[in-house]
Amino acid sequence: MLFIFENNSGNILKSLRKEQKLTQKKLSELTGISQSALVKYENGTRGISKNVDIALSKALNVDSLLKNEVENLSYMINRIIEYRDLNNLSNKNLANKIGISEALLSYILNGRRKLSKEIQRKIALFLLNDGNESLIDTKLGGASLNFPSIDKNLMGNRIKTIRKNRGESLEKFGQNFTCPARKNVINRWENGVNIPDVER
């Protein structure tokens, strides 16, 4: 899974606003949020809080601007926990590897701290480098566990057959997994572009 944190909600906000042919001034009038604040949200220089998200989502007629970010953060936290448990690390050792304090890591794992972009970047880089290697190159009794090669097209056809036999849409089928998958992800699986992650 790719971690995309660079102003995701700001880009969504800008795209929805333009799609609905609203100027920043008009959206400001509809929501009661200042135009200068809207500029900062769209540019990613200010994060969108839950209250602001509610106001903007209502005006733009969407569920939430933050949904994808929440999913990404949840996935990232689960990967950190998986890495820690797989390598029998204490929170202190894991925090040192990531480059953050033990207290901050504890807050992150307990969901009591909103992550800054800098912290998200540090964790994402750790998972993409050290964390990813450890989770993929699983060691078993000192020997590497070699995964068999997989025919992506064959797997994609099998996934499509299962989904169609169940009479489910891409979106509905994606909700069946431990870590729900969006319809564009299911579509890529069915077309043989990607295969499901082991943890799904």
Element (H, E) at 139: strand 139-140
Residues 6+ apart with CB under 8 A from 7: 43, 44
pTM, whole model, 2 decimals?
Answer: 0.41
What is the predicted pLDDT for the residue at 28? 93
User: Max alpha carbon distance in the chain (Å)?
Assistant: 64
User: What are 109-164's pLDDT values in tens digits?
Assistant: 887 766 777 777 788 778 776 655 555 444 444 444 444 456 777 888 888 888 88
Torsion of CA 6, 122, 179, 16, to 10 degrees: -10
DSSP state of 144: E
Evaluate if residue 3 carries a pLDDT over 50.
Answer: no
Residue closest to 64 by CA, chosen among 76, 49, 80: 49
CATH class of 68-144: mainly alpha
- Is the CA virtual torsion 59, 75, 185, 129 positive or negative? positive
Give residue-wise pLDDT tens across range 171-191. 888 888 777 888 888 888 888
H/E stretch holding 140 reads strand 139-140
DSSP state of 47: P
What does the buried/exposed string (b/e) look like for 174-186 if buried means 16 or more CB atoms within 10 Å of the residue's CB?
A: beeeeeebeeebb
| Domain positions in the chain | 8-65, 68-144, 152-190
Domains 8-65 and 68-144 share a fold: yes
Enter the tokens of residue 168.
């489910």
Q: What is the CATH number of domain 8-65?
A: 1.10.260.40
Count of CB atoms situated within 10 Å of the CB of 144: 9
Quote the pLDDT of residue 196: 78
Q: Residue 128: enclosing H or E segment and its boundaries?
A: none
